[in-house]
Amino acid sequence: MSREFAFIDALRAIAVSPAARGLADDAAVLELGGQKLVLTMDTLVEAVHFLPGDPPEDVAWKLVAVNASDLAAKGAEPLGCLKSHALGEEDWDRAFLAGLELACRHFRLPLLGGDTVRMPKGSARSFSLTALGRGPEDCPVPSRSGAQAGDLLWVSGTIGDSGLGLELLTSGGRVQTPEAGWLIDRYHRPMPEPALGVALAPLATAMMDVSDGLLVDARRMADASGVSIVITADDVPLSRALVATVGDGLEQRLQAMTAGDDYVLLFTAPAVNSAYVRAAAAAAGSHVRPIGAVAEGADIALEWQGQPTPLPERLGYQH
Amino acid sequence: MSREFAFIDALRAIAVSPAARGLADDAAVLELGGQKLVLTMDTLVEAVHFLPGDPPEDVAWKLVAVNASDLAAKGAEPLGCLKSHALGEEDWDRAFLAGLELACRHFRLPLLGGDTVRMPKGSARSFSLTALGRGPEDCPVPSRSGAQAGDLLWVSGTIGDSGLGLELLTSGGRVQTPEAGWLIDRYHRPMPEPALGVALAPLATAMMDVSDGLLVDARRMADASGVSIVITADDVPLSRALVATVGDGLEQRLQAMTAGDDYVLLFTAPAVNSAYVRAAAAAAGSHVRPIGAVAEGADIALEWQGQPTPLPERLGYQH
């Protein structure tokens, strides 16, 4: 068990409020005066969650986007955010603010407050954001634990783009194709869709965002729900840019499914409701695809070209 | 203008939502379904806001306490908190969690969520906490800007203890008197009183917490309210421990009034309501003292032994 995991386990013993959802969901859900307040907080650390050379506008975008992704996963309408900022060089901070303003406007998360701090020389900068949203009124706030046998598993976007973008960015070679530029942009500027989350919440039996890798996140959903999830690797949507860059075989698909940083929605819904699911996504201006099925049992399994195929050793980013 | 100040000014241009209160108050106030949600976020950075040798239990306590102090200043009943944690050594983190659990229980701020991150080697640790509270139902959430001519200025506790505690802690000499131990404890374990803030909110025309120094914070209130505030240095309450350690002259009082980290409430109320103010504080198990008066005009001024006395050059911690 990693240090991080052991620590989170110890935190769990403290976070006993039902609103904390056992620290096992994407966000906390606090009931307040008949409203459901959805709360999430994510931190980005230089050299851990972003590269020191990443454009500051993109770091700010990502900070807002990863939190917006958690709200989307809970079907929450964005309300606002608070940010803690570690001061760095003046130009860098100014560019960061420009990206922040853009992202706050895009994700409808007005900046409400926060803190600005100095760091000792030589310290990695870190930025925390707390985002607040209003949970759905007419249905429960979706959790990771509601998937049921008979459901289909869906994703709301292509998988692996951001991971491949990061790989291209760090591989050192000069990247000059338009596809490579697009993939790197997916790494720098994830595009979660809170409005899609709001539209899907009444239909989803379980919902979460894909942040650590499709396979590891699907396993978390299976574990939380006490079911088995079989993923059809053939059906996992890949972008044209990814296929053009690395191809479309099982190996590339496994790579994509374990890469992480996708910030798309992963959710389950009864198979009989598939037409409603597609219609709700279309009404939100988006497109969702079924990639697997939920059955009784435990854990996840993979199929490829109609046959079972072994899971890779590493399912994604493991804390 | 300092870097930090210039940056906060640039942030202000982004934070245009009325809920942000111009980033000029202790907390944001978001109206939600008939409720007033009070939101604050404070970050503590190692070697900036706490000493690397400070006991981890105390760092955790302080992290919760400084946020609870902001809620108190807005008369908000605590609801819960989210925390971002930078992992360090295992023993340190374990002790931190013990302090966190104690503080969350003391301040009635159940831990609802957050994030746990690794830091690159050699980085200062930093911890952010977002606290949520429910604002008063039957009166506005007090701001810093409501002080009016004819009001008295009050504080809810002794001033300068924490600053002197820090001085004793860093002065290097061995500290062996019980008074010194008590003063250092005031620095490590500030004791804001959210219940007192709740009790005072309906009576206060303006309210804030004293975090950067009584004088600089009073000037902020005067500026925000467009009034003059005259503080009677003789009436500023000092602890017996402080007086026993450094004495009780004007110089020591000026030192105390500019030291910061007090985390007591500073508020104004019409002079005619003084009996109600005292009664409300007593009902909340606390004791408040008038230390000045609000008049038309601008800025703050000091009196000592019935005579005007010049303000010190440095009023407190200036961002």
CATH superfamily of B3-134: PurM-like, N-terminal domain (3.30.1330.10)
Q: What percent of chain B has pLDDT over 70?
A: 98
Strand, helix or coil at B116? strand
**Per-residue pLDDT tens digits for B233-260:** 999 999 999 999 999 999 999 999 999 9
Residues B301 and B228 sit within 8 Å (Cβ to Cβ) = yes
Of B30, B113, B122, which has the smallest distance from its Cβ to A79's Cβ? B30
Average pLDDT of span B302-310? 98
Find out whether A63 and A85 touch, Cβ atoms under 8 Å.
no
A79 vs B contacts (CB less than 8 Å):
30, 32
Residues B38-54: tens digit of each pLDDT: 999 999 999 999 999 99
Residue B113 has pLDDT above 60, yes or no: yes
Q: Model confidence over A73-124: pLDDT tens digits? A: 999 999 999 999 999 999 999 999 999 999 999 999 999 999 999 999 999 9
Q: State the DSSP string of A131-189.
A: EEEEPPSSSPPP-SS---TTEEEEESS-SSHHHHHHHHHHS-S---SHHHHHHHHHHHS
Average pLDDT of the segment spanning A168-189: 87
A80/B28 CB distance under 8 A: yes
The residues, ordered by sequence, that sit 6+ positions from B14 with a Cβ below 8 Å of its Cβ are A97, A100, A101, A104, A111
Please tell me the distance from the alpha carbon of residue A257 to that of residue B275, in angstroms, as a whole number.
68
Determine the distance from the C-alpha atom of residue A261 to the mean position of all C-alpha atoms in its chain, rounded to a whole number: 6
Residues of A in contact with B118 (CB under 8 A): 4, 45, 48
What pLDDT band is residue A308 in, cutting at 50, 70 and 90?
very high
Specify the domain boundaries for CATH 3.30.1330.10 within chain B. Answer: 3-134
**In which residue ranges of chain B is CATH 3.90.650.10 found?**
151-309
CATH architecture of A151-309: Alpha-Beta Complex (3.90)
DSSP codes joined into one string, A112-130: EEEEEE---TTPPPEEEEE
In chain B, residues with a C-beta closer than 8 Å to the C-beta of A34 are 33
Residue A188 has a pLDDT of 95
- The mean pLDDT of chain A is 95
Is it the case that residue B223 has pLDDT exceeding 60? yes
B residues 51-110 near A, CB within 8 Å? 79-80, 82-87, 90, 93-94, 97, 100-101, 104, 110
Q: What is the pLDDT of residues B174-196, one digit of tens each?
A: 667 889 999 999 999 999 999 99
Q: Buried b / exposed e across B150-170, counting CB within 10 Å, b at 16+?
A: bbbbbbbbbbbbbbbbbbbbe
Position B4 scores a pLDDT of 78
Q: Between residues A171 and A91, which one has the greater pLDDT?
A: A91
Residue A17 near chain B (CB below 8 Å) = yes
Interface of A with B in 103-122 (CB under 8 A): 104, 110-120, 122
Q: Which pLDDT does position B111 carry in this prediction? A: 97
DSSP B235-300: GS---HHHHHHH--SHHHHHHHHTT-----EEEEEEGGGHHHHHHHHHHTT---EEEEEEESSSSE
Q: Is A286 helix (H, G, I), strand (E, B) or coil?
A: coil
Identify all chain B residues contacting A115, using CB atoms and an 8 Å cutoff.
41-43, 128
Look up the ipTM and state it: 0.94
Antiparallel, parallel or unpaired: β B228-232 and B300-304: parallel
Cβ atoms B4, B319 nearer than 8 A:
yes
Q: How confident is the model at residue A157 (pLDDT cuts 50, 70, 90)?
A: very high
If one counts every other C-beta atom within 10 angstroms of the C-beta of residue B219, the result is 19
Amino acid B128: pLDDT: 98
> Which chain B positions have a beta carbon within 8 Å of A7's beta carbon?
85, 87, 93, 97, 116
Residue burial B109-121, b: 16+ Cβ < 10 Å; e: rest? bbbbbbbbbbbee
Q: Tell me which of A7-11, A113-117, B4-8 is least confident.
A: B4-8
* Average confidence (pLDDT) over B169-175: 76
Q: How confident is the model at residue A172 (pLDDT cuts 50, 70, 90)?
A: confident
Residue contact B130–A28, C-beta within 8 A: no
Tokens standing for residue A113: 């407050």
Question: Which chain A residue has its CA at the smallest distance from B51's CA?
Answer: A120
Residues of chain A with Cβ-Cβ distance to B64 below 8 Å are none
Per-residue pLDDT at B173: 64
- pTM recorded for the entire structure: 0.95
Tell me what pLDDT residue A107 has: 98
Mean pLDDT over B208-214 rounds to 97
**List of chain B residues whose C-beta atoms are within 8 Å of the C-beta of residue A4:** 87, 116, 118
Give the pLDDT score at A2.
76
Strand (E) positions, chain B?
28-32, 35-45, 77-86, 111-117, 126-134, 151-155, 206-209, 228-232, 265-270, 289-295, 300-304, 307-309
B16/A112 Cβ within 8 A: no
Question: Rg of the Cα trace of chain A?
Answer: 19
pLDDT tens-digit series, residues A13-54? 999 999 999 999 999 999 998 899 999 999 999 999 999 999
Do A80 and B19 lie within an 8 Å CB cutoff? yes
Is residue B248 within 8 A of residue B146, CB to CB? The reply is no
Mean pLDDT in chain B? 95
| pLDDT for residue B116 | 94
Quickly tell me which residue has 């706030």 as its tokens.
A141
Dist CA A71 CA A53 (whole Å): 28
Chains A–B, number of C-beta pairs less than 8 Å apart? 219
Q: Rounded to whole angstroms, how far apart are CA atoms A32 and B39?
A: 14
Q: How close is the nearest chain A Cα to the Cα of B178, in Å?
A: 33
Facing residue for B82 by CB, picked from A6, A28, A86: A28
- Tell me what pLDDT residue A317 has: 86
Place of tokens 């701020």: B109
Q: Provide, as residue numbers in chain B, all residues whose Cβ is less than 8 Å from the Cβ of A19.
A: 80, 110, 112
* CB within 8 Å: A82 and B7: no
pLDDT of residue A319: 61
Contacts of B11 in chain A (CB under 8 A): 85, 97, 111, 114, 116
Q: Spell A219-229 as b/e; 16+ CB within 10 A means b.
A: bbbbbbbebbb
User: Please, how many CA atoms are within 13 Å of residue B118, restricted to the half-sphere of its CB?
Assistant: 12
Distance CA A255, CA A251 (A): 6
- The answer to whether the CB atoms of A97 and B43 lie below 8 A apart is no
Q: Is the pLDDT of residue B13 over 80?
A: yes
